[in-house]
Structure 1
Amino acid sequence: MTAARPGRTAIPPEPAPADGTAAPAVVVAVDGGGSKTDAIALSLDGRVVARRRGGGSSPHFDGLASSVETIDALIGEVSGGAPVAQANLYLSGLDLDRELDEFRAELAGRRWAGPSTVVANDLFALLRAGTDEPDAVVIVCGTGVNAAGVRADGRVVRFPSLGAISGDWGGGSGLGAEALWHAARDADGRGPATRLTGAILELLQLDSVQELIEQLHFGRRQESSLAVLAPLVFEAARLGDAVGASLVTRQAEEIVAFARACLVRLELLDRPVPIVLGGGILAARDPLLLEPIERGLAEIAPLATLAIVEQPPIVGAALLALASAGAGEETLTKARTALAG
C-alpha cells in the first residue's frame, strides 16, 4: 500500500454493497510529479471516496511505461473496483503535444481509461487549485520553472519547459547551479567573493569547491542534487551578499517575464487577471522574491493580482475531474470543502 499524505490518514475505498449490486461509479483525479503522485476518487456528488499517495510518475524521470504503471496502480486502489466514470491526469513532464499523444496511447486497454480521459500538464491542476477565473495565468517555481495562461475563449499559452534549450532559467535546480557557478569563480579568483562558497561547503560537508566539481564531473553526485543549494541563495541575499541578491532579483525577473509573455500573447494586459503562483520557492513567500515580482507586475499589468496557492494541486485536479464529469457548482463547492478537510 502506498504511503498516506503526511499528517493525514489515507481514506480507504468504500466497500462494495453487501447485496452484490455494482458499486457506484467514481471520478478519479491524479496529480503526478517527479517525487510523488497523489490520486483521489470522488463520488459523482462530490464526496471524497478514497485518496492515496505513491511515488513519482513524471514520464521525464521515470519513463512512459513506468509512469503509467504507477498511475494505474494508484487508480486501482482509490477506485476500489468501482467503475470509473471520469479520469483526469495532470503530470509534470508533459509539455509537448507529442508527449501528450504518446501518454494517451500508453493508456490504451486500462479499464479506467477512455475517450473522455483527460491528460494534461500538472500546471492546470495547480491553476484550478488557485482560481476558477476563466482568464488566468499560473506560474510554478519549484525544482524548475514553468507557466501557462488561459483565456475565456479557450485560448491557451504554454511553454516547452525543456530547460536552457527552451529559454528557461531558475527554480531550485537553476538557482543551485548558479550558486555553484559563482562559488567556483570565487574559489579560483575569477569572480567576486560570495557567502555562497562557504555556505555550500558547510551544507554539503566538503573541504573545497573543487571537490564538489569533481564529484559532479565523475558522476558521484547528480547535478539535480544542486537544488538543495537554492535556500542558501536566499539566506545569502538576506545577509547582504551581492551575488545572492542578484540571483534572487533574476529569479523575480524570470517570473515577471513568464507572466508578461502569457498576458501579452493572450491580450490580457488590461484585465484584472489572477496570477497564480505555486511551487516550493514561491510558496516560501520570501519578500525578497515576492516584492520585486509585485513591482514588476504592477508596471506591466496594474490590474493583475497575485495569488499564492494554499491548496495542493490534487484539489484542482479533483475539481477539474468533477467538472469533466458534468458536476455543477453546488457539487464543486461541496467537493472543495471536503478536499480542504
Structure 2
Amino acid sequence: MSAGPLDPTPLVVGVDGGGSRTRVILADAAGNTLARVEGAGTALTPGHEGVAADIIKSLIADALATVDRTETRPAVCVVGVAGAGQERAAQALWSALASRRVADDVSVQADATIAMDDAFGDSAGVLLISGTGSVAYSRAPDGRLERCGGWGPNIGDEGSGAWLGRRALSVITAAHDGREPDTSLTGAVLTALELESLDDLIPWAAEATPGHYATLAPVVAKVASTGDLRANALISFCVEELSLHIRTLARRCFMDERAAIPVAFAGGLLSKGSLVRKRLEQRLKSAVPGATVRAEDVDAARGAVRRARRLLGVEV
C-alpha cells in the first residue's frame, strides 16, 4: 500500500551538490534510505543560486515520486554544496530553497561539512575532497574546525579535476609550440573534446566551465597510465598539491604530521582505485607518516541525512 499525503512518518532529505553532479538521498526518520537520485551540478556561483535551487527542488520531487510520496513535504532538508562556505552564497541558496518550500526546515552547509559528518561523525580527522574543485577540512582533537584550500577555480582548487584539466591544456599547447616535449595528451584531449585541431581549443576554453575542465582529468590519468612523461608529471604535481593540504592541517590540528591522524577522501578524483588516490596514499607514507586512510567510501549525501535527522531531534 503506497503512502499518501497524510502519512505521519516524517521524511528527511540529504543533498550533496558538486560542480559536476548533485546527489539526493530521501530517508525516513530512522535513517533508512528510501530513494537515491542524481542530477546536474549545483556548485554555487554568484547570482545563480536560484538555478541551483531549481535543480535541487526537481531532484527532491523525483525522489518523492520514486516512493509515491509526491504530496508529502519532507520535514528537514540538509543541503551541502560547493561554494556554500561563503556566508552570502549560503544565505542566498537558503532563501531560494525556502521560497520553493522544498521542506519544512532547510539547512545549507558547505559540501565538506556534510562529508565530515559521514567520515568522522564528531571525531577528529582530516577530510580531503577533490572532484571538480578541491578543499580539505579537519576537526582537531579539541573540536576545532580548520580549512585548507577551497578558494575556487579562479585562484585555487589545486589538485582538483578542473585544475588538472586546465594544466593539461597548457601542456599540450606548449608541446605544440615546441616549448615542451611531445605528449600523447594532445590526441587524447582532442578526441575527448571532439575537436579537430588545437586551434579549436581557443573557443572551447572561452566557454568552458570548471566542470568542463574536470572532464579532462580522467583523460590525463588514462594517458599517464600508458607511461606518458608529461601526463605523469601532471599527476605527480596534482598528488603533491593534495598531500600539502593534508600535511598543513595535520600540523595545524594535530601538531605534527607524525601523529596518528585519521584521513578520509571524497570526490571523483579520489574514488577508490583511481590513479590519483593510489599515488596519494603512497605519497602520504612519507609526507604525513601518521596518516591512516579510511578505506570506506565517504558519502556526503549520507552525511547530510545524518545531520537532517539530528535537526529532526533524532539521536544519531
Which TM class, normalised by the smaller chain length? Answer: 0.7 to 0.9
Equivalent residue number for residue 241 of structure 2? 254
Q: Deviations over 1:51-97 (max 9, x none)?
A: 44444333328811222233344445636444644332111221322
Superposition CA RMSD, Å = 3.1
TM-score, length basis structure 1: 0.77
Equivalent residue number for residue 85 of structure 2? 95
Matches within 5 A, 1:273-288: 273-283=261-271, 285-287=273-275
Equivalent residue number for residue 30 of structure 2? 45
Instruction: Point out where structure 1 has 5 or more consecutive residues left out of the alignment.
Output: 1-11, 330-341
Q: Residue 71 and residue 234 in structure 1: after superposition, are their counterparts in 2 closer, same or farther (change >3 A)?
A: closer
Q: Residue 86 and residue 271 in structure 1: after superposition, are their counterparts in 2 closer, same or farther (change >3 A)?
A: farther
CA distance, structure 2, for counterparts of residue 153 and residue 315 of structure 1:
25
Q: What's the secondary structure of 1:60's corresponding residue?
A: coil
Q: What's the secondary structure of 1:46's corresponding residue?
A: coil
Equivalent residue number for residue 313 of structure 1? 300
Q: Residue 62 and residue 13 in structure 1: after superposition, are their counterparts in 2 closer, same or farther (change >3 A)?
A: farther
Moved over 6 A (4+): none
Q: Deviations over 1:164-223 (max 9, x none)?
A: 42x432322221211111111111212222221232234334443223235435x4x667
Please tell me whether the aligned partners of residues 26 and 85 of structure 1 are also in contact (alpha carbons under 8 angstroms): yes
Equivalent residue number for residue 194 of structure 1? 183
Instruction: Point out where structure 2 has 5 or more consecutive residues left out of the alignment.
Output: none
**Structure number with larger C-alpha Rg:** 1
CA distance, structure 2, for counterparts of residue 113 and residue 276 of structure 1:
32
Q: Residue 126 and residue 239 in structure 1: after superposition, are their counterparts in 2 closer, same or farther (change >3 A)?
A: same
Q: Residue 324 and residue 271 in structure 1: after superposition, are their counterparts in 2 closer, same or farther (change >3 A)?
A: farther
Equivalent residue number for residue 152 of structure 2? 162
Q: Residue 41 and residue 14 in structure 1: after superposition, are their counterparts in 2 closer, same or farther (change >3 A)?
A: farther
Equivalent residue number for residue 260 of structure 2? 272
Q: Residue 74 and residue 241 in structure 1: after superposition, are their counterparts in 2 closer, same or farther (change >3 A)?
A: closer
User: How far does residue 108 in structure 1 lie from its aligned partner after superposition?
Assistant: 4.5
Matches within 5 A, 1:1-341: 14-16=3-5, 23-60=8-45, 63-75=48-60, 78=64, 80-82=70-72, 84-109=74-99, 110=101, 112-114=103-105, 117-132=106-121, 134-158=123-147, 159-165=149-155, 167-217=156-206, 219=207, 224-267=211-254, 269=256, 270-283=258-271, 285-287=273-275, 289-307=276-294, 309-310=296-297, 312-329=299-316
Q: AA paired with 2:84? A: L
Q: Tell me the percent identity.
A: 28
Q: Residue 303 and residue 47 in structure 1: after superposition, are their counterparts in 2 closer, same or farther (change >3 A)?
A: same
The number of equivalent residue pairs is 308
Please tell me whether the aligned partners of residues 31 and 90 of structure 1 are also in contact (alpha carbons under 8 angstroms): yes
Q: Residue 118 and residue 225 in structure 1: after superposition, are their counterparts in 2 closer, same or farther (change >3 A)?
A: closer
